[in-house]
Amino acid sequence: MLTTHPFESLDDGDKLREECGIFGIAGAETASAMVALGLHALQHRGQEAAGITSFDGDHFHTHRAMGHVAGNFDRDDVIRSLPGHNACGHVRYSTTGETALRNVQPLYADLASGGFAVAHNGNISNAMKLKRDLVRRGSIFQSTSDTEVIIHLVATSTYRTLLDKFIDALRHLEGAYSLICMTPEGMIACRDPLGIRPLVMGKLGNSIIFASETVALDVVGADYIRSIEPGELVLVREGEVESVHPFGKRAARPCIFEHVYFSRPDSIVDGSSVYSVRKAIGAQLAIEAPVDADLVIPVPDSGVPAAIGYAQESGIPFELGIIRSHYVGRTFIQPGDKVRHLGVKLKHNANRALIDGKRIVLIDDSIVRGTTSLKIVQMMRDAGAKEVHMRIASPPTRHSCFYGVDTPERAKLLAAKLDIPGMTDFIHADSLAFVSIDGLYRALGETQRADIGPQYCDACFTGDYPTTLTDQDDLAPEDQFSLLAERVN
């Protein structure tokens, strides 16, 4: 029984903040099979659940499932149940709380204008406020996902055409959204006005493809055309591609963490090779934080490109001192602190013969809670390392992300609690250093942030959020405190 207003929260125990991957194809013989392949390449962006919606010219068909793409969408019967030349899909990632099927995307609704499906990567930072207003006006929500707000805004818009309704809906949104939508008329892909989350366009024969990352184009053999521009809507109708910029042009603020960690190293994000950027960050780290050591060792897999860059710049040999088992999921993704600790042990093992008696520089992409670093440093010591120096290929993560990367609340971020000497003690390293924010910008080919101002959303490092955060600001200070206290436990 509900004891509070039904719209008091969007997340009945479920987290709103989640990183996701999206893929859509318009005009393909085997659209849903292509989407399954594309989602498979985007699996690193979300492992909790996956879904595909197709349109056969008359009807929409949806299959959504908990778990990985493989096992759910590599089955002929499933792909056969998703007929049509247009299809889009979604992989979802959420670390805690309820993992209900009703939140798995694409979300679909029958609107007065016809069917409407949406796959969303990002997080709408005023979703709770919008939901409250919509519920007051009679909307009945089916999920606890922020994405559903978009459907209700389209449904209740007083504009005439579906495109105008959609643009009208987007004008209400604050935060990060890369979207792929399907209607009976065709497919719409768009990116929020700051382009916080990535989205690219590709071509395969006469088919147009949209995907979170270029790696998903590679997997289906498609050619990369370009990134969708911040604030751009691309429509595909009867094979024709049309682009509109309903919000005017604004300075872009794409997520810098895509380059640091989230995207696959073989992807091109906003025109830059993720692998090359990560190597350049490592080289920058070697310049900013040199250390006398015998070996550079990456924390696999996320620390590998930066470690190569560090080794090349410093001249210290690169070696695989930690071997990773590929049969356990990403450490961070396993819910619950106890399981996460266990996951680290299952996932990594020291290459003892190499480490014993050596002074080592360990390279990882980021420290979030500090769990991984603590375990890995200890693992190096247990394997006989003489000295362990930790170098991190991003600045300290001091602030939560409200735009779709699942970081824990501030109280759990190690760098929000401790200064660098405190963090060094916590992880039991001989030394610890992070690349500077200017160094990170330099690795991305920019001049110093201090000179040019923010070119990215780097709020996780700087606290400089590029949009208002209505839902956060709406919380009374005492609620913010109790919410934090609740979640810390």
Angstrom distance (rounded) from CA 429 to CA 320:
19
Angstrom distance (rounded) from CA 49 to CA 66:
4
Residue 405, interface with ligand AMP (CB under 6 A)? yes
Residue 192, interface with ligand AMP (CB under 6 A)? no
Residue 15, interface with ligand AMP (CB under 6 A)? no
Q: What is the DSSP string of 173-186?
A: --EEEEEEEEETTE
Closest CA to 143 of 171, 113, 117, 108: 108
Judge whether 365 is annotated as a binding position.
yes
Q: Which of 208, 350, 367, 380 binds ligand AMP (CB under 6 A)?
A: 367
Judge whether 190 is annotated as a binding position.
no
CB 194 within 8 A of CB 253: yes
Please report how the helices 304-314 and 274-288 are oriented relative to each other, as an axis angle in degrees rounded to 10. Answer: 50
| C-alpha neighbours within 13 Å on the C-beta side of residue 451 | 7
Distance in Å, CB of 283 to ligand AMP, minimum: 19
Which phi-psi region, left, alpha or beta, contains residue 450 (left: φ > 0; alpha: ψ -120 to 50)? Answer: alpha
Which phi-psi region, left, alpha or beta, contains residue 161 (left: φ > 0; alpha: ψ -120 to 50)? Answer: beta
Closest CA to 41 of 210, 215, 197: 215
| C-alpha neighbours within 13 Å on the C-beta side of residue 397 | 26
Judge whether 364 is annotated as a binding position.
yes
Judge whether 88 is annotated as a binding position.
no
Distance in Å, CB of 348 to ligand AMP, minimum: 10
Residue 365, interface with ligand AMP (CB under 6 A)? yes
Write out the binding residues for ligand AMP, residues 445-464 only, by CB under 6 A.
none
Q: Which of 86, 178, 366, 467 binds ligand AMP (CB under 6 A)?
A: 366
Distance in Å, CB of 431 to ligand AMP, minimum: 17
Catalytic positions:
20
Residue 123, interface with ligand AMP (CB under 6 A)? no
Partnered with residue 200 across adjacent β-strands are: 211, 227
Residue 372, interface with ligand AMP (CB under 6 A)? yes
Of the two residues 166 and 332, which places its CB atom closer to ligand AMP in the complex? 332
Distance in Å, CB of 199 to ligand AMP, minimum: 19
Of the two residues 149 and 414, which places its CB atom closer to ligand AMP in the complex? 414
CB 147 within 8 A of CB 107: yes
Write out the binding residues for ligand AMP, residues 228-267 only, by CB under 6 A.
261
Q: Give 176's contacts (C-beta < 8 A, 6+ positions apart).
A: 121, 122, 123, 124, 125, 192, 194, 196, 197, 255, 403, 404, 457
- What backbone torsions phi and psi does residue 128 show, to the nearest 5 degrees? -65, -40
Q: Which of 146, 364, 458, 471 binds ligand AMP (CB under 6 A)?
A: 364
Of the two residues 183 and 212, which places its CB atom closer to ligand AMP in the complex? 212
Largest CA-CA distance found in the chain, in angstroms, rounded: 73
Residue 278, interface with ligand AMP (CB under 6 A)? no
Q: Which of 123, 284, 407, 424 binds ligand AMP (CB under 6 A)?
A: 407
- What backbone torsions phi and psi does residue 167 show, to the nearest 5 degrees? -65, -40
Residue 391, interface with ligand AMP (CB under 6 A)? no
Write out the binding residues for ligand AMP, residues 281-310 only, by CB under 6 A.
299, 302
Report how far apart, in Å, the C-alpha atoms of 273 and of each of 222, 268, 276 are: 17, 4, 5
Q: Which of 55, 60, 310, 332 binds ligand AMP (CB under 6 A)?
A: 332
Distance in Å, CB of 365 to ligand AMP, minimum: 5
Judge whether 181 is annotated as a binding position.
no
Residue 311, interface with ligand AMP (CB under 6 A)? no
Distance in Å, CB of 331 to ligand AMP, minimum: 6
Residue ranges binding ligand AMP (CB under 6 A): 261, 299, 302, 330-332, 364-373, 405-407
- Per the annotation, binding residues for [4Fe-4S] cluster are 255, 401, 457, 460
